[in-house]
C-alpha cells in the first residue's frame, strides 16, 4: 500500500515549456486535490476532483489544467510554464468529504527558469 | 484575502516545555478546523482536528482549543519533544465544501534538546 505517490519529485523547466505532474493513489479514494505551496503562503488549492471523470477549479487555477480519467490518477498539466509557477506541488486524496481524511503525497518541486 | 492566518512564522521552545501555536480565521462559515504537521521533503500529515461545536479536543500530547467568538484556535503540545520540530499548518473548512481546505501560512516549530 503506497498511499499517495507523485511523479516526478523534481523538475526544472524553461519558460514556455509544458509538463504533466502525475498523482496516483491506491486507496480507492473518490476525492483528489492539487495544492501548491509557496513561501509565506501556506498551501493553496489549484484544482480538485470529486470522482472519476470530474474536475473543478480551486483557489488558484489559472495556468493549470487537470484530468481524472481513472479513479486512481489525477494529472496536473502546465501548458506554458511561467516563473510564477515555481513552487512545490502537493497532491492529496480523501475517501470522503470529511476534511481530516486527506492524505498527502510527498510533493513535486518545480522550478521554472 | 488571507482567511486563515498564522502570524508567527517560527517558534522555539525547550524540550519538555509547552509549545503553543496560534491561528486566526476570518470566515464565519468555517465549522471544521485542522492542524497538519510537515517535515522537510514530505507531504503534510494530519495531526488533530476540532469541530465548531466543541471548544477543545485532545489527542495524547496534543490539544486544540477553539474560541469561536474570537475566531481563534491554538495547538498545545505538552511536553514538547525534539521530534515535534516541523512546520505546523492550521487549516479550515466548512460543510458542503467538498472537503476543500484553506491553509494558514505555517509556523516552524523548533524544539531544542
Identify the residue among A48, A100, A101 best suited for mutation to test binding to B, counting B beta carbons within 10 A and taking the highest: A100
**What are the φ/ψ torsions at residue A68 (nearest 5 degrees)?**
-135, 70
User: What is the model's pLDDT at position B104?
Assistant: 96
Quick count: other Cβ atoms within 10 Å of Cβ B55?
13
User: What is the model's pLDDT at position A99?
Assistant: 64
Closest-CA residue of B relative to A34 is B100
- Does residue A87 sit at the B interface (CB-CB below 8 Å)? no
Q: Tell me the C-alpha distance between B4 and B83, whole Å.
A: 26
User: What is the model's pLDDT at position B27?
Assistant: 94
The answer to whether the beta carbons of residues A43 and B93 sit under 8 Å apart is: no
Measured over the CA atoms of residue B20, residue B28, residue A42 and residue B43, the dihedral's sign is: positive
Contact call for B105 and A40, based on CB within 8 A:
yes
- Gap from B34 CA to chain A (nearest CA, Å): 7
> What string of DSSP letters covers B59-109?
ETTEEEEEETTTTEEEEEESS--GGG-EEEEEEEE-TTSTT--EE---EEE
pLDDT tens-digit readout, A67-90: 999 999 999 999 999 999 999 999
Contact call for B4 and A42, based on CB within 8 A:
yes
Q: Pick A102's closest partner by Cβ from B101, B102, B104.
A: B101
Q: Write out residues 4-23 of A within 8 Å (CB-CB) of B.
A: 4
Nearest alpha-carbon partner for A28 in A4, A10, A60: A4
| Residue that is written with C-alpha cell 514556455 in the block | A16
Decide if pLDDT at B53 tops 70.
Answer: yes
Q: Give the number of A-B residue pairs with CB atoms closer than 8 Å.
A: 69
Q: Tell me the C-alpha distance between A108 and B2, whole Å.
A: 24
Low-confidence ranges of chain A (pLDDT < 50): none
Q: Which three cell numbers stand for residue A48?
A: 480538485
pLDDT tens-digit readout, B71-113: 999 999 999 999 999 999 999 998 877 788 999 999 999 999 9
- Does residue A77 sit at the B interface (CB-CB below 8 Å)? no
> B104: which chain A residues are within 8 Å (Cβ-Cβ)?
42
**What are the φ/ψ torsions at residue A59 (nearest 5 degrees)?**
-80, -35
Contact call for B99 and A58, based on CB within 8 A:
no
Q: Tell me the C-alpha distance between B92 and B5, whole Å.
A: 10
Please give the share of chain B, as a percent, with pLDDT higher than 70: 100
Contact call for A42 and B103, based on CB within 8 A:
yes
Q: Which three cell numbers stand for residue A60?
A: 488558484
User: What is the model's pLDDT at position A48?
Assistant: 95
Amino acid at each position: 500500500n503506497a498511499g499517495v505517490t507523485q511523479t516526478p519529485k523534481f523538475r526544472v523547466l524553461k519558460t514556455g515549456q509544458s509538463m504533466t505532474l502525475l498523482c496516483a493513489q491506491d486507496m480507492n479514494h473518490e476525492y483528489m486535490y492539487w495544492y501548491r505551496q509557496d513561501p509565506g503562503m501556506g498551501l493553496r488549492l489549484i484544482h480538485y476532483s470529486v470522482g472519476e471523470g470530474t474536475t473543478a477549479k480551486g483557489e488558484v487555477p489559472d495556468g493549470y489544467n487537470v484530468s481524472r480519467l481513472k479513479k486512481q490518477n489525477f494529472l496536473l498539466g502546465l501548458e506554458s510554464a511561467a516563473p510564477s509557477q515555481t513552487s512545490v506541488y502537493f497532491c492529496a486524496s480523501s475517501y470522503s468529504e470529511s476534511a481530516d481524511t486527506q492524505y498527502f503525497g510527498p510533493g513535486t518541486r518545480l522550478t521554472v527558469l | 484575502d488571507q482567511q486563515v492566518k498564522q502570524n508567527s512564522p517560527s517558534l522555539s521552545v525547550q524540550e519538555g516545555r509547552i509549545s503553543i501555536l496560534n491561528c486566526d480565521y476570518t470566515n464565519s462559515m468555517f465549522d471544521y478546523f485542522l492542524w497538519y504537521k510537515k517535515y522537510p521533503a514530505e507531504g503534510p500529515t494530519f495531526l488533530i482536528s476540532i469541530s465548531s461545536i466543541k471548544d477543545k479536543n485532545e489527542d495524547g500530547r496534543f490539544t486544540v482549543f477553539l474560541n469561536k467568538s474570537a475566531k481563534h484556535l491554538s495547538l498545545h503540545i505538552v511536553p514538547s519533544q525534539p521530534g515535534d520540530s516541523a512546520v505546523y499548518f492550521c487549516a479550515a473548512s466548512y460543510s458542503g465544501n467538498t472537503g476543500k481546505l484553506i491553509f494558514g501560512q505555517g509556523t516552524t516549530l523548533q524544539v531544542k534538546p
